[in-house]
Chains A and B, each alone.
Chain A
């Protein structure tokens, strides 16, 4: 585990990525490193190669399925937290996210408090385990 929070942001809409990149450091008062990707393949390659604490991803990435990222993260067994991002709040989508183990759902367009709440959730989980692991040595 590293010192700051490492977040991967995935959305095929550049303006959403830019908004997240600006708002996240604004609303959170801890160190966050962000890595943005516009497609699933680049994002998953990065997640495989690098230590990552959380992923915020759009569910509908053009023709790709953001839900694949959640499934992939769960197979990797790296303790990565996942947050879904979508304007689609249909029962089917929400159920899919829940079944895939998504920790949090950000409804587009999102408010600052929602972003803070989601990132805080990842951060608190990360800090809880970091302290436990650090104590064990």
Chain B
């Protein structure tokens, strides 16, 4: 095992310090005195997290904030820790990962703590370690040691036990997400909010937005440290972190991007689509056979065959490219059936279109996500000239490529050419006449698939409400009306 999953990590003790300022008489009196104010004051307490790896420290800050509602400072240097310990008056907890720091540096932190606070050791300080002798001099009880070797889960248990009272009183509606980690967390399933000085939360990024380094840089310059996600959306994030702690910590340690749409969630999304737009077993089997045929067709040309794995949702990760194809394909077939076009030829046409519509982007599958003008304008500065050319021509290029394969149904090339032909579509052009019915079905399925992929709490009703102005005439309106009937 590597990274956080490395068992050696568990030899590193992690101390939780429950801190009471020296002018308070005792732990008990503190709580009695403040019980009535706890709910109100809970927001004002702070947590200091000292971790050599800032991103991993931020992971602990997310868990702490989720369970306690307390605000966290994450630092990766002892100098900064010392400064915060000196300056801040509302610290309630210090979390220290000793790994990577010299013993003398850790001792300095403890000296700062001792100077400022009464420290209640023994009963109140869980220590997560496999080595009970290690750093014993700092006091504390060994708890959760070696329990399934799951450091983050053990930390969560310690936090829950330690802050039982605050947890029951944590009525925060939002989870704070530190800015640096947002470059590594993708598809969180909810909008991101900014907290104004007045305490009001206002929308800053849509759930489907791609957050860039430039965004983070601009906000940091304005001294913003966190963005916020609604707590109802945050629960899934926390579950994913706790259930996949090895993968999550390994990815963060290697500075990779974590996709929070999991294969399991994709499965659930597909199940819900089946409930809303049911297809019989035979029809589903027919789609599966067409998918196999489409993949065999793609295999015809060697330069594409090596990318075949990108067309399938991997068991370990629901990447955008494959998930988008899978969702679009299922939705297009379901919608065609609703429109009375569920015959085998029509289904074959829509399956092939789904699998070929972004084929010119297969070498750069991450570009497929930039499919609206708004996203493109936002991302333009981070794209190369080649990326931009590829993106802006991908509908035509993919259409041309589809003609090179043998056995691709008629009309697939023209549906591909039109697949972004809506107001904010990245390659949108004003159509000379009405958009043909199959193109309309595919355009709406394509749009709906993104809505479902990026949205944890999606409903067809909300989609229709959001899009009624975009699909306001001709065949696009016809398809939307059919969906509306279904919803009724």
Contact = CB atoms under 8 A, between A and B. Distances in A.
Interface stretch (B66-74, B100-108, B197-205, B237-245): B197-205
A70 B219 CA distance: 16
Contacts of A107: none
Nearest to B219: A75
Contact of B194 (A40, A65, A67, A75): A75
Contact of B218 (A40, A44, A68, A77): A77
Interface string B202-238: 1110000000000000110010100000000000000
A35 to B, nearest CB: 15
A48 interface: yes
Contacts of A74: 222
A44 B201 CA distance: 11
* Dominant secondary structure at the A interface: helix
A75 B202 CA distance: 10
Contact of B202 (A48, A65, A67, A77): A48
Nearest to A67: B198
Contact of A68 (B200, B203, B219, B224): B200
A48 B222 CA distance: 18
A129 interface: no
Contacts of B194: 72, 75
A72 B196 contact: yes
Given A75-B194, A75-B219, A77-B218, A45 B203 contact: yes
B221 to A, nearest CB: 10
Given A72-B194, A72-B196, A75-B224, A44 B219 contact: no
Nearest to B205: A48
B340 to A, nearest CB: 35
Contacts of A68: 196, 198, 200, 202
A71 interface: yes
Interface residues of A, number: 13
Interface in A36-91: 40, 44-45, 48, 65, 67-68, 71-72, 74-77
Interface string B177-203: 000000000000000001011101011
B218 A48 contact: no
B74 to A, nearest CB: 22
Contacts of B198: 65, 67-68, 71
Contacts of B202: 44, 48, 68, 72
A48 B205 CA distance: 9
Contacts of B200: 40, 65, 68
B174 to A, nearest CB: 15
A74 B202 CA distance: 12
Contact of B197 (A40, A45, A71): A71
A75 B222 contact: yes
Which among B200, B202, B203, B219 has the greatest number of chain A C-beta atoms within 10 A? B202
A67 B194 CA distance: 15
Contact of B203 (A44, A65, A67, A77): A44
A71 B218 contact: no
Contacts of B222: 74-75
Which among B194, B196, B198 has the greatest number of chain A C-beta atoms within 10 A? B196
A75 B196 CA distance: 10
Contacts of A71: 196-198
B204 A75 contact: yes
B226 to A, nearest CB: 13
Nearest to B222: A75
A49 to B, nearest CB: 9
Contacts of B196: 68, 71-72
A67 to B, nearest CB: 8
Contacts of A76: 204
A132 B141 CA distance: 66
A72 B200 CA distance: 10
Interface string B446-477: 00000000000000000000000000000000
A82 to B, nearest CB: 14
A76 B202 CA distance: 10
The 5 closest A-B pairs by CB, nearest first: A48-B203, A71-B196, A72-B202, A44-B202, A68-B196
Interface of B: 194, 196-198, 200, 202-204, 218-219, 222, 224
Given A67-B198, A76-B204, 6 more contacts: A44-B203, A48-B203, A65-B198, A68-B200, A74-B222, A75-B224
21 contacts: A44-B203, A45-B203, A48-B202, A48-B203, A65-B198, A67-B198, A68-B196, A68-B198, A68-B200, A68-B202, A71-B196, A71-B197, A71-B198, A72-B196, A72-B202, A74-B222, A75-B204, A75-B219, A75-B224, A76-B204, A77-B218
